[in-house]
Amino acid sequence: MSLIRVENLSLDIHGTPILRDVSFEIPQGKVFGLVGESGSGKSMTSLALMKLLPEGGDRSGRAVMDGRDLFALDEDTMCGIRGNEIGMIFQEPMTALNPVQTIGDQVAEALIIHGAATRREALTLAREKLDRVGLDGARFPLDRYPHELSGGQRQRVCIAMAVALRPRLLIADEPTTALDVTTQAQILDLLRGLVDEEGMSLLLITHDLAVVAGVADHVAVMQHGRIVEQGTTEALFRTRAHDYTQRLFAASAHRPEREPTVEDEVLLEVDSVRRSYALPRRSLFGPTPVLEAVRGVSFTLRRGESLGLVGESGCGKSTLTRAILGLEKVQGGSIRLYGREPISPTMPNPLRAGLQVVFQDPYGSFNPRWKVSRLVSEPFHLMPQTPADARDRINEALTEVGLTPADADKYIHEFSGGQRQRIAIARALINRPDLIVLDEAVSALDVRVRAQILDLLARLQESHQLGYLFISHDLHVVRAITDRVMVMKSGEIVEAGETETVFANPQHPYTRELIAATPVIPADWTEGKTHETLV
Amino acid sequence: MKRLPMTLIAGAALTGVFALAALISMVWTPYSVEGMNIAARLQAPGAAHWFGTDHFGRDILSMIMVGARTSIAVAVIAVGMGMVLGVPLGLLAAANRGGLIDEVIMRGNDLVFAFPALVIAILITAVFGPSAVNAIIAIGIFNTPVFARVTRGGALSLWTLDYIRAAEVAGKGKVRISVEHILPNIANLLIVQGTIQFSLGILAEAALSYVGLGAQPPLPSWGRMLAEAQTMISFAPHMAIIPGFAIVLTVLGLNLMGDGLRDILDPKLRRAR
Amino acid sequence: MLRFALQRLVSLTISLIVASMVIFFVIEVIPGDPAAYMLGMNAQPETIAALRRDLGLDQALFTRYLGWIGGMLTGDFGTSYTYRVPVSELVLARMGVSLPLTVYALVLSTLIAFPVGLIAAARRGSGLDAGIMGATQLGIAVPNFWFAMLLVLFFSITLQWFSAGGFPGWDRGFWVNIKALTLPAVALALPQASILARVMRSAVIETLGQDYIRTARAKGLSARQTVVRHALRNALIPVLTIIGLQFSFLLAGGIIIENVFFLPGLGRLIFQAITQRDLIVVESVVMLLVFAVILVTFLVDLAYAAADPRLRRRA
Amino acid sequence: MLGRLKLGLAVLAMVATPALAQRADISVGLVLEPPNLDPTSGAAAAIREVTYSNIYEGLTRFGPDGSVNPGLAHDWDISEDGTVYTFHLREGVQFHDGTPLTADDVVFTLDRARDEDSTNAQKQLFAAIDTVTAVDPLTVEVTLTQPQGAFLFNMAWGDAVIMSPESVETNATNPVGTGAFRFVRWVQGDRVELERNPDYWGEAPALERATFRFISDPSAAFAAMMAGDIDAFPNFPAPETLAQFEADPRFSVIVGSTEGETILSMNHQNEALSDIRVRQAISHAINRQDIIDGAMFGYGTPIGTHFAPHNPDYLDLTDNSAHDPEAARALLAEAGHENLTLRLMLPPPTYARRGGEIVASQLRDVGIRTEITNLEWAQWLEQVFRGKDFDLTIISHTEPMDIEIYSRPDYYFQYDSAELQAIIAELDETTDPEARTELLHRAQRHISEDYVVGFLFQLAKTGVANADIEGLWENAPVPANDLTGVRWTQ
């Protein structure tokens, strides 16, 4: 039987349609996955259920939970339900907790608010809950403050808070998107476990099909505020009736076709590089503790080669990247371009011209006050003087990345995320560099856009014989685009080798852990389907 | 695209009136502000003198107009001075964030903030003698750290963005980046802050010339008009009330304008949408 | 926490030293000789010279600086040229007026600002909010000395509810003095309250936009509970800064108001001392004010750290 | 002789009106706070306004009309050649600290004032003294180097009050004198409190307590009077408001004269101003009545020379410099100064600041441009008075009988006239009244006809008091608020 039944939920915000006739049922004690790309309306659906919509929201439809239409209830009653019968956790654990309250108080508050317990009882209960979500009392006493916890730990606190009163429905809105893959796995286990033990239902909202495949019993696929297809997970994954679903799957499983021709010429040579930072002193006169971000990393990258660098946040890959880009000096070892010229913040411009970069955030990567032409041509600064055929080269670069010369006179805000990444690539290409560092270059993109960009990158690599240093936390992507891969952990490269071999037969335990933690869609579910959709 | 907020329109209108008066006063005033007519002194507002006359028989309307010129000029130049000194400091501090220069600049800021503004103004005039110029300097000094701070704050948030990285990768130095990328993108902040400082400048000028440290006679200034009117408030209230309202309305106008500008310019609020 | 405090303490002392030099050497270049001022128009040169000897004005500038600093460290601020009494005595007496006035004004402005700001934030975008914002704009725009003039005209001269100014002295009882300080405090508080209310409003609105507020709502807190239990404390941090700034502003900013109400406060003391070229008094009082400001900033920083755990371990 | 008779009358007057006052306390408003309470070191008028003949007394004392009466000396003899003065002190006079007044105190006081370490602001008062000796405990003999007509007058000044060696060091903050009132306390910045001296040698004052409150801000002063915080304001700083007090039955306005000749000083070192035609032009450009009306709201007497109109020896020479712009322009043209620009330095008092603005506009009418600079007192003393760095300034010379300043070539306006210097020198040695009058007339005419400075007006003493108070000085021969004769009528 179903715990909650949503009927024809439609929503407009300030007149713009957000949801249209969304209907679904969440069965008792099951996990219901709601999948869709950004802007598909999945988050709004959950907020609608909580009746926490932003101002100007105009909602119609029903959400029936044991005979009551939630939408018909007044605010007070709703307050009684939130956190009590329906709990919710959000995407950003870093900001989801009140920075000035201890985690104990924040968990306890949920209980106190609903009069479920006195403060003392509440605190003991809070303790239990925190233990339940894997924050043991020894390392995580109640008087800890959020800023003393990692992202994953904070998400656990949020969960403890949400399930403190054993709600019958837990809504999790992209609960693991902001987390590292190993942490993600743990959190998903935790959620699954709670569902199984406490018999509560879980509405899991995510953009990641693999995640749903792993934990959800039922799935609904959303597009443009509509549910285009829903059903039990396996069935839906196998059939994929709706073509949007198909495209989604195709994209997520997509691998660009590449015939890499790796030459012998060494583009980048990193030789036992060290970089460490001084941390604030513990005691006033004690020694300054040091964080060794990169400890003796060495590798080489050849022309035409695409080298992957995977690792979780804090493993030192960003620091290494900055050093390779010549934005930070290293304290030990050396980084050399073309195997000879040393890279450093003071390196000569002509040398810099051989090296370009594409960043993760398509929104922060461009000066909003500049026209595309100026943005793309900024690297000309590295030239002795701006080339005479600047305009042509701008147009050429834009065309190469699949935009039109006309776009040169537009401002960046006129472009979508995917287009922006294309512009970023154009900027990287304009000087005909030999090496491009791709720093999480596709991580912020929706699957379908990501697929296109990957294709573009593959094509460009062949046409220009570029060397790629591809930095990412997403193993799928790395596997899809790199020839060799390096696994980085706490400042060191723990494993390196041919991508396929490493993935097929990981040597280092950490590599295994990573691969194991990465959610995958069971191979047999998708047999034969992918290629079909590709051609 | 965006429709202008009410506050902006109202504020601009108010400010405009006084700016206009100031402009006109350069070419024409109803009466000469230097011409005295002791016989016709202390007249209440009437047909001949719309705002009445003061204790020397001067036309108050004319003095308000010229006074507007004084106040606005002093405030504008002082704010300009604050910007010219403060913005580069702020950019410099942000460019070397966490470094020694940053520390020195910010501590310097705190120090200036720590000095009692009016007292310093009095001291400055005690050293150099009272004059509009010294009023400007006094106000300008205290504008500098404000702009330094705002600039640094805005710049710091920008320095974390990827397009700055990109510029660095394109081999651009701190100075060039500060000018090409940072400055244009904090312009909004500065405009908003500028308006606010402008209104504060008007108030400060009024206060200074009220205690006799601002523009010297015969050049009229609102603050001194108030000071002179003070003892006559009980039998010639118009002398105190009219300049008072001139100040209040101008400052009000500027503040409203500042609010309006913030609403349409401040990136923070825009992201919120 | 302790480390944090100590670090601030160090930079505090450096600031003070720099300040002392700036103050002393700037003030000493002020033209006008205290001795000449005291002896007036008929004084003969040798008389003035004699008085300068009396006052120790004949010593070298730097010697006097060291003397001044050294004295201050031992709590001896020197002797006023004109009053011929220890500066510390003068200052202490004036503090007895300025400090209460400042606190009084601050309390007033806070009492007004908090509820007003909260209501405006809670009713964001409503007519009430617009009204409050308009009123505060007006409050900021009114020059406090002009407001003071009107207050006197109305309450002292016309209604005669309050005396026009002056300060009985604490030995004359508590309430008479509070009464004497009421008009000045009101005149000082109005603009401050307006500013504070606006800060309060925007701070609360900002915090209400934070993720953890949404979390709290999801927990089942009502809108009101969320404001009280979560928004307020976080909003307090910026508000605290402003209150700190206002304290220091009011302490020195009373000058004009003290003149209008002829209160024997610090501001008046400085004003007189400058006109009488009682430089040692000027120097000491300015130094004191700077010290007060720096101290308050320091305390505010500590208050932050208390209010915001994230700052406790920050360098 | 004369002095004694006067005293007798004064005493009679007091006895005639029995002191059955209901109120015996008064709060008197002063514009400036005294920097300290020792009139023998420090020129501030405020010191005298609080202490003169309330706390301290001299051998002689001024009466309300400026006449010189017996003070601590009830009588004195002057030798034929006028160089030896023998003062007979009153018996049983005590300082507030209980020490008796003796001849030694007088010797001490006068020697201290003449000493080269003396910080007495009016040291020239004692310049003529050669020796001071105590003949017996109640007799002092003062020998002068040459006869001095104004010696008794000089001894009446606040700077010549008698102090005892025991208390002289602390008098700046804790004044101890022989006067009718004792110092109680001084709340710096706010007020000085006095109380009746029970052991006073003379007629006990009607007031038991007196408070001097310091209110520099004119509008604050107005408010304080109106609100009844102040009972009397002998030198009310805002003449513009007097009309309202006039109209208000609660108050009486006391308008008297001061010794303050308010003049537009000219720097004779200035090339243009050294030309008499220019000075004359300026004098004709000035419209005194407009200045008196515009700056002082009608209070003040026009003067044509440097002499107090209420003085019997005064000559009205205002016609020499009647308001006549035409003549002024003509003179300037003749002197070749059609477009002259002069710096006008203005000290703080209202008469100077407001007067200055009016003068500036009047000069503008005859084609002289002025650059006004407002200066604080200290700056004015430094730059104008001692630095002599100015063209024009407006200032009121408040010392009585100070026409002699024009005989000092190094005085700030640097007027150097042998003729006048001769007159003054002669005057200084003349004791015969008629001869003195004659000399004074010549001096007045000389500076008037030489247009040494622009003579504006005699500063009026404009006081406001509660209508029920009587006995306040109407005039101010010297800065003083003698409260010994002040009483409440009901």
Could you report the per-residue pLDDT of D266-314, keeping only the tens digit for each?
999 999 999 999 999 999 999 999 999 999 999 999 999 999 998 889 9
Cβ-defined contact of C143 to B114 (cutoff 8 Å): no
Give residue A36's identity as a one-letter amino acid code: G
Residue A301 pLDDT greater than 50, yes or no? yes
Q: How far is C18 from chain D (nearest CA, A)?
A: 28
d(CA D367, CA D364): 5
Nearest CB neighbour to B165, from listed A355, A359, A368: A359
DSSP of D437-466: HHHHHHHHHHHHHTT-SEEEEEEEEEEEEE
Mutate to test the interface with A, among B165, B179, B186, B189 (most CBs of A within 10 A): B165
Residue D19 pLDDT greater than 50, yes or no? no
Q: pLDDT band for position B245 (50/70/90)?
A: very high
Enumerate the residues of chain C whose CB falls inside 8 A of the CB of residue B210.
Answer: 143, 145, 256
Nearest CB neighbour to C30, from listed B114, B123, B240: B123
Q: How far is D218 from chain C (nearest CA, A)?
A: 9
Nearest CB neighbour to A327, from listed B161, B168, B181: B168
DSSP H/E element including A476? helix A475-481
Q: pLDDT band for position C1 (50/70/90)?
A: low
B contact chains, 3+ CB pairs < 8 A: A, C, D
Of the candidates A53, A9, A69, A27, the residue with the CA atom closest to the CA atom of residue A227: A9
Pick among 3.30.70.340, 3.90.76.10, 3.40.50.800, 1.10.3720.10: CATH of D57-168 = 3.90.76.10
Residue D123 pLDDT greater than 60, yes or no? yes
Angle at D489 between CA D485 and CA D490, to 5 degrees: 145
Q: Please indicate if any CB of chain A lies within 8 Å of the CB of B98.
A: no
Q: Buried (b) or exposed (e) across C178-201, using 16+ Cβ within 10 A?
A: eebbbbbbbbbbbbbbbbbbbbbb
Q: Which two tokens stand for residue D342?
A: 């002069």
Q: What is the four-CA torsion angle of D386, D388, D393, D394, rounded to 10 degrees?
A: 30
Cβ-defined contact of A95 to C211 (cutoff 8 Å): yes
Give residue A385's identity as a one-letter amino acid code: Q
d(CA C225, CA D328): 83
pLDDT of res. D146: 87
pLDDT of res. A252: 84
Q: For chain A, list residues whose CB is within 8 angstroms of any CB belonging to chain B.
A: 325-327, 349, 352, 355-357, 359-361, 364-369, 375, 378-379, 381-382, 424, 427
Nearest CB neighbour to C145, from listed B126, B207, B255: B207
Cβ-defined contact of A98 to C307 (cutoff 8 Å): no
pLDDT of res. D420: 94
Counted across chains B and C, CB pairs separated by less than 8 A come out at: 110
Q: Are A66 and A86 in contact (CB under 8 A)?
A: no
Q: How confident is the prediction for chain A on average, in pLDDT?
A: 88
A contact chains, 3+ CB pairs < 8 A: B, C
Give residue A146's identity as a one-letter amino acid code: P
Mean pLDDT of C177-192: 91
Note if the bond before A345 is cis, omega within 30 degrees: no
Q: How far is B181 from chain C (nearest CA, A)?
A: 27
Nearest CB neighbour to B165, from listed A327, A355, A375: A327
Nearest CB neighbour to D357, from listed B56, B234, B235: B56
d(CA D267, CA D247): 43
pLDDT of res. B260: 86
Q: Which two tokens stand for residue A146?
A: 């959020």
What are the residue ranges of CATH 3.10.105.10 in chain D? 260-460
State the burial class of residue C173 (Cβ atoms within 10 Å of its Cβ: 0-12, 13-18, 19+). Answer: exposed
Three-state DSSP state, C65? helix
Residue C315 pLDDT greater than 80, yes or no? no
Give the single-character DSSP code of B244: H
Enumerate the residues of chain C whose CB falls inside 8 A of the CB of residue D379.
Answer: 31-32
Task: Classify domain D25-31+174-256+461-488 by CATH number.
Answer: 3.40.190.10
Q: Please tell me which residue, D421 or A526, carries the higher pLDDT value.
A: D421
Of the candidates D307, C209, A67, D221, the residue with the CA atom closest to the CA atom of residue B230: D221
**Strands A86-89 and A169-173: what pairing?**
parallel
d(CA A508, CA A180): 18
DSSP of D314-364: ----GGGG---HHHHHHHHHHHT-SSEEEEEEE-SSHHHHHHHHHHHHHHH
Q: Please indicate if any CB of chain A lies within 8 Å of the CB of B41.
A: no
Q: What is the four-CA torsion angle of C22, C28, C32, C36, rounded to 10 degrees?
A: 150
Cβ-defined contact of D121 to C43 (cutoff 8 Å): yes
User: Which of these ranges, A121-125, A142-146, B263-267, D131-135, has the smallest mean pLDDT?
Assistant: B263-267
Class of domain B6-21+54-268: mainly alpha
- Please list, in sequence order, all residues whose beta carbon lies within 8 angstroms of the beta carbon of residue D107, skipping any fewer than 6 positions away: D132, D133, D134, D140
Mean pLDDT of D19-39: 83
DSSP H/E element including B271? helix B267-272
pLDDT of res. A154: 92
Q: How far is D361 from chain B (nearest CA, A)?
A: 7
Tens of pLDDT, residues C266-306: 888 888 888 888 888 888 888 888 888 888 888 887 887 77
Q: How far is D3 from chain B (nearest CA, A)?
A: 43
Enumerate the residues of chain B whose CB falls inside 8 A of the CB of residue A325.
Answer: 165, 168-169
Q: Which two tokens stand for residue D204?
A: 């006990």
Within the 146-175 window of chain C, which residues sit less than 8 Å (CB to CB) from chain D? 149, 152, 156-157, 160, 163-167, 169
Residue B1 pLDDT greater than 50, yes or no? no
Residue of B nearest to D356 (CA): B217
Q: In Å, what is the CA distance from A454 to each residue of A251, A477, C192, D304, D446? A: 10, 8, 58, 102, 107
The partner residues of A204 in beta bridges, in order of sequence, read A33, A172
What strand order describes the sheet that includes A68-69?
A16-27, A2-13, A57-65, A68-69
Entry pTM? 0.84
Q: pLDDT band for position D86 (50/70/90)?
A: very high
Enumerate the residues of chain C whose CB falls inside 8 A of the CB of residue D385.
Answer: 41
pLDDT of res. C223: 84
Three-state DSSP state, D92? coil
Q: Which two tokens stand for residue D382?
A: 């430094």
d(CA D63, CA B197): 59
Q: How far is A416 from chain C (nearest CA, A)?
A: 26
Cβ-defined contact of D241 to B38 (cutoff 8 Å): no
Residue of B nearest to D293 (CA): B38
Residue B178 pLDDT greater than 70, yes or no? yes
Residue of C nearest to B233 (CA): C153
Tell me which architecture the domain covering D260-460 has in CATH: Roll (3.10)
C contact chains, 3+ CB pairs < 8 A: A, B, D
Nearest CB neighbour to B38, from listed D240, D294, D364: D294
Nearest CB neighbour to A381, from listed B165, B170, B184: B170
Q: Please tell me which residue, C126 or D102, carries the higher pLDDT value.
A: D102
Enumerate the residues of chain B whose CB falls inside 8 A of the CB of residue C151.
Answer: none
> Roughly what angle, to the nearest 10 degrees, separates helices B222-230 and B183-210?
30
pLDDT of res. A286: 64
pLDDT of res. C24: 86
**Strands D84-89 and D73-78: what pairing?**
antiparallel
pLDDT of res. B63: 93
Mean pLDDT of B74-96: 94
d(CA C143, CA C166): 21
Angle at D385 between CA D379 and CA D389, to 5 degrees: 80
By 3-state DSSP, what share of chain A in percent is helix, strand and coil, each rounded to 5? Answer: 40, 25, 35
d(CA B66, CA B69): 5
Q: In Å, what is the CA distance from A328 to each residue of A274, A341, C258? A: 11, 16, 57
Cβ-defined contact of C43 to D44 (cutoff 8 Å): no
State the burial class of residue B32 (Cβ atoms within 10 Å of its Cβ: 0-12, 13-18, 19+). Answer: middle
The partner residues of A6 in beta bridges, in order of sequence, read A24, A63
Nearest CB neighbour to D123, from listed C47, C166, C262: C47
Long-range contact pairs involving D326-330 (C-beta distance under 8 Å, separation at least 24): D327/D281, D327/D284, D328/D280, D328/D281, D328/D282, D328/D284, D328/D285, D328/D366, D329/D281, D329/D366, D329/D367
Please state whether at least 3 CB pairs lie below 8 Å between chains A and D: no
Enumerate the residues of chain B whose CB falls inside 8 A of the CB of residue D354.
Answer: 55-56
Cβ-defined contact of C234 to A76 (cutoff 8 Å): no
Of the candidates A226, B115, D420, the residue with the CA atom closest to the CA atom of residue C23: B115
User: Which of these ranges, C111-115, D179-183, D476-480, has the smallest mean pLDDT?
Assistant: D476-480
Q: Please indicate if any CB of chain C lies within 8 Å of the CB of D185.
A: no
Cβ-defined contact of B36 to D375 (cutoff 8 Å): no
Tally of CB atoms within 10 A around A251: 19
Of the candidates B217, B228, B227, the residue with the CA atom closest to the CA atom of residue D357: B217
Q: For chain B, count helices (H), then strands (E).
A: 11, 0
Cβ-defined contact of D43 to C40 (cutoff 8 Å): yes
Q: pLDDT band for position C308 (50/70/90)?
A: confident
Enumerate the residues of chain D whose CB falls inside 8 A of the CB of residue C37.
Answer: 377-378, 381
By 3-state DSSP, what share of chain D in percent is helix, strand and coil, each rounded to 5? Answer: 35, 25, 45
pLDDT of res. C159: 83
Three-state DSSP state, C199? helix
Enumerate the residues of chain A whose CB falls inside 8 A of the CB of residue B168.
Answer: 325, 327
DSSP H/E element including C198? helix C174-208
pLDDT of res. A203: 94
- Please list, in sequence order, all residues whose beta carbon lies within 8 angstroms of the beta carbon of residue A128, skipping any fewer than 6 positions away: none
Cβ-defined contact of A52 to C218 (cutoff 8 Å): yes
Q: pLDDT band for position D35 (50/70/90)?
A: confident
Q: In Å, what is the CA distance from C38 to each residue of A132, C26, D283, D394? A: 82, 22, 32, 20
User: Which of these ranges, A261-270, A385-394, B30-39, B246-255, has the smallest mean pLDDT?
Assistant: B30-39
d(CA B170, CA B189): 27
Cβ-defined contact of C293 to B116 (cutoff 8 Å): yes
Q: pLDDT band for position D26 (50/70/90)?
A: very high
Tally of CB atoms within 10 A around C122: 18
Three-state DSSP state, A409? helix
Within the 232-291 window of chain D, which residues sit less than 8 Å (CB to CB) from chain C? none
Cβ-defined contact of B34 to D361 (cutoff 8 Å): yes
Domain boundaries, chain B: 6-21+54-268
